[in-house]
């Protein structure tokens, strides 16, 4: 990807984005696991440019803070006023030294653009000896786009914006994608010479092409057959359209690489997710963030995972999880909730209606059903009975509980942290554990059962319960009365 390395890439991301109707800057809206500008940065970085500059404007502080997280080496330039694309690129050039070579200009709201397309654009620029090369596409409805005016030699004679175009020019279906490669010297010179004499009263970057052409330099085009790559986002309808298209493309790539997607219409996978061959995704599955799934695992149906690592052969069904690690051959769900800090060892189990948080569950250990396990270490082969609660919070601080290897916690127990249950120990069902348990012991922590004779007759006289008790004590189960009623 670096054979045609540019001197710089400038990403225009300073637009007002008023049609988004949002307090969030347009370029920070997300699709496919990244912000719009995040997609642009990843694509630009694939070219290995000497300098990468993002031109920011509205919401500058938010955008710069976001860029510092996703690409700390990216520089930013501030466009103080929205005076057009020419002004934006002029601002971008102030953030880099006076470079020589190719300068790529792209946009922060074109998330489907692929690095391979930019590389092909660069290759065309260099092989044709162009001073400027513009990415173009042919579309059935070019309304609103700048039109490519063809030269007699197959070059580009110019670009006319829709509002400035004549009726004949508006019939042209080859449109400007707003993505360019410039010779650095040509770009600097052209930006010094452009004016605001147009319908918008703005500094058009496209006017640099006309200036270069007038100076006898060659201006060329590279036509992409995939027009969707050039689509930008201006409102939330377009955002949803491109989100769906990006997901479709992501799933298509995954399926062609050996992943089974049973129902692509209900499956959403971020472009940041990694799936190995022979992974199976069942309907209504969503995989987000840095989720990675190893070969042979089955995810879904009805499962949402964010930043979850899944081992080979694992099964996760009807589960919501984030920040968790699932071991090879493990099983999770249905109806489990994995919170950050959960790790499940190989062939372990987190079952039905189980919630875990900061819980390290070792190989072969089982938390099968109806349990809350927070701030816990559960040893190899241990079994946690149904209804167990790891009471980790005392109202002020969180405390940890450790369950030893091959220990057994009886159903409906409460483990009041901090607690330590030794290897090979038992906790009797219904216990409220307030002391540690040593290896090999059984802990019984529950009140002694006391049965009070005659309580129902005294306290619930006249009820159906009292009548049933009286019948049972007299040996009459009520079956004779039922038979008489049916006869």
Question: What pLDDT does 433 receive?
Answer: 97
Question: What pLDDT does 1 receive?
Answer: 42
Question: What pLDDT does 406 receive?
Answer: 98
Q: Is 481 helix (H, G, I), strand (E, B) or coil?
A: helix
Note whether 125 and 210 are within 8 A (CB): no
Quote the DSSP letter at residue 140. Answer: S
- 127 closest CA partner among 209, 205, 218: 218
Sequential DSSP letters for 44-73? HHTT--SEEEEEEBTBHHHHHHHHHHH-TT
Distances from the Cα of 237 to the Cα of 26, 107, 234, 241, 352, angstroms: 13, 19, 8, 6, 38
Exposed/middle/buried for residue 160 (C-beta within 10 Å: 0-12, 13-18, 19+): buried
Name the residue with higher pLDDT: 479 or 37: 37
pLDDT value at 280 more than 90: yes
pLDDT value at 370 more than 90: yes
Distances from the Cα of 367 to the Cα of 12, 340, 344, 374, 378, angstroms: 51, 17, 10, 12, 9
What average pLDDT does this structure show over 471-482? 72
What average pLDDT does this structure show over 91-112? 95
Model pLDDT for residues 127-143, shown as the tens digit of each residue: 999 999 999 999 999 99
Known catalytic residue: 369?
yes
C-alpha to C-alpha distance for 175 and 143, rounded to whole angstroms? 9
Question: What pLDDT does 450 receive?
Answer: 93
What average pLDDT does this structure show over 195-204? 84
DSSP H helical segments within 260-412, as ranges? none
In the structure, what pLDDT confidence band is assigned to residue 484 with cuts at 50, 70 and 90? low
The helix/strand count (H/E) of the chain reads as 10, 37
C-alpha to C-alpha distance for 423 and 381, rounded to whole angstroms? 10
C-alpha to C-alpha distance for 401 and 390, rounded to whole angstroms? 7
Quote the DSSP letter at residue 307. Answer: S
In the structure, what pLDDT confidence band is assigned to residue 477 with cuts at 50, 70 and 90? low
CA atoms within 13 A on the CB side of 267: 23
What does the block give as tokens for 91?
């601002």
- 356 closest CA partner among 368, 339, 343: 339
C-alpha to C-alpha distance for 299 and 289, rounded to whole angstroms? 16
Note whether 206 and 89 are within 8 A (CB): no
pLDDT value at 354 more than 60: yes
pLDDT value at 288 more than 90: yes
C-alpha to C-alpha distance for 74 and 56, rounded to whole angstroms? 12
Model pLDDT for residues 379-424, shown as the tens digit of each residue: 999 999 999 999 999 999 999 999 999 999 999 999 999 999 999 9
DSSP bridge partners of 149: 158
Note whether 337 and 318 are within 8 A (CB): no
Question: What pLDDT does 17 receive?
Answer: 87
How many Å is the maximal CA-CA distance in the chain? 115
CA atoms within 13 A on the CB side of 463: 10
Q: Is the peptide bond before 247 cis (omega within 30 degrees of 0)?
A: no
CA atoms within 13 A on the CB side of 427: 38
Question: What pLDDT does 189 receive?
Answer: 96
Question: What pLDDT does 144 receive?
Answer: 86
Count of CB atoms situated within 10 Å of the CB of 476 = 11
Catalytic residue among 4, 29, 66, 369: 369
pLDDT value at 470 more than 50: yes
> Could you tell me the pTM of the whole model?
0.90
User: Scanning the structure block, which residue is given the tokens 């800090």?
Assistant: 341
pLDDT value at 476 more than 80: no
Lowest mean pLDDT among 37-51, 54-68, 192-206, 355-369: 192-206
In the structure, what pLDDT confidence band is assigned to residue 486 with cuts at 50, 70 and 90? low
Question: What pLDDT does 2 receive?
Answer: 44
Q: Tell me how far the alpha carbon of residue 277 is from its chain's centroid.
A: 20
Question: What pLDDT does 112 receive?
Answer: 97
Model pLDDT for residues 210-227, shown as the tens digit of each residue: 999 999 999 999 999 999
Q: Tell me how far the alpha carbon of residue 212 is from its chain's centroid.
A: 43
What average pLDDT does this structure show over 18-46? 96
What is the residue-averaged pLDDT of the chain? 94
pLDDT value at 18 more than 50: yes
Let me know the angle formed at the C-alpha of 485 by 482 and 487, rounded to the nearest 5 degrees: 110
What average pLDDT does this structure show over 76-98? 93
Question: What pLDDT does 274 receive?
Answer: 98
Model pLDDT for residues 308-326, shown as the tens digit of each residue: 999 999 999 999 999 999 9
């Amino acid at each position: 990807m670096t054979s045609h390395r540019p001197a710089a890439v400038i990403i225009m991301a300073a637009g007002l984005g008023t049609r988004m109707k949002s307090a969030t800057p347009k370029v920070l809206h997300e699709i496919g696991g990244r912000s719009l500008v995040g997609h642009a940065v990843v694509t630009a970085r694939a070219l290995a440019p000497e300098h990468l500059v993002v031109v920011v404007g509205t919401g500058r502080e938010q955008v710069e803070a976001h860029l510092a997280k996703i690409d700390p080496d990216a520089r930013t330039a501030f466009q103080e006023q929205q005076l057009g694309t020419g002004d934006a690129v002029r601002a971008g050039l102030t953030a880099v030294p006076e470079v020589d070579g190719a300068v790529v200009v792209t946009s922060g709201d074109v998330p489907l653009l692929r690095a391979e397309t930019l590389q092909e654009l660069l290759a065309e620029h260099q092989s044709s000896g162009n001073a400027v090369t513009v990415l173009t596409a042919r579309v059935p409805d070019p309304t609103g786009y700048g039109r490519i005016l063809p030269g007699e030699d197959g070059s580009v004679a110019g670009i006319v914006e829709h509002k400035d175009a004549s009726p004949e020019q508006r019939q042209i279906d080859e449109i400007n994608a707003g993505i360019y490669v410039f010779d650095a010297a040509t770009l600097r010179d052209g930006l010094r010479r452009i004016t605001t004499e147009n319908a918008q009263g703005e500094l058009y970057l496209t006017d640099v092409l006309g200036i270069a052409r007038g100076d006898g330099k060659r201006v060329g085009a590279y036509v992409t057959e995939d027009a969707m790559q050039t689509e930008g986002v201006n409102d939330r309808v377009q955002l949803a359209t491109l989100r769906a298209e990006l997901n479709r493309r992501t799933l298509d790539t995954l399926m062609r690489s050996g992943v089974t997607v049973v129902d692509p219409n209900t499956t959403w996978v971020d472009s940041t997710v990694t799936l190995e061959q022979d992974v199976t995704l069942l309907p209504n599955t969503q995989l987000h963030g840095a989720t990675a799934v190893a070969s042979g695992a089955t995810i879904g149906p009805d499962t949402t995972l964010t930043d979850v690592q899944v081992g080979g052969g694992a099964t996760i069904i009807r589960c919501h999880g984030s920040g968790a690690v699932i071991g090879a051959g493990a099983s999770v769900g249905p109806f489990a909730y994995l919170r950050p800090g959960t790790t499940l060892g190989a062939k372990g189990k987190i079952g039905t209606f189980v919630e875990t948080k900061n819980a390290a569950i070792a190989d072969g250990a089982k938390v099968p059903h109806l349990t809350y396990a927070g701030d816990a270490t559960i040893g190899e082969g241990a079994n946690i009975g149904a209804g167990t609660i790891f009471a980790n919070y005392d109202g002020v601080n969180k405390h940890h509980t450790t369950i030893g290897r091959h220990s057994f916690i009886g159903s409906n127990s409460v483990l009041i942290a901090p607690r330590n249950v030794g290897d090979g120990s038992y906790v009797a069902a219904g216990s409220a554990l307030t002391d540690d348990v040593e290896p090999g012991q059984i802990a019984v922590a529950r009140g002694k059962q006391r049965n009070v004779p005659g309580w129902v007759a005294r306290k619930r006289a006249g009820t159906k319960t009292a009548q049933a008790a009286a019948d049972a004590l007299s040996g009459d189960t009520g079956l004779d009365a039922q038979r008489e009623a049916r006869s």
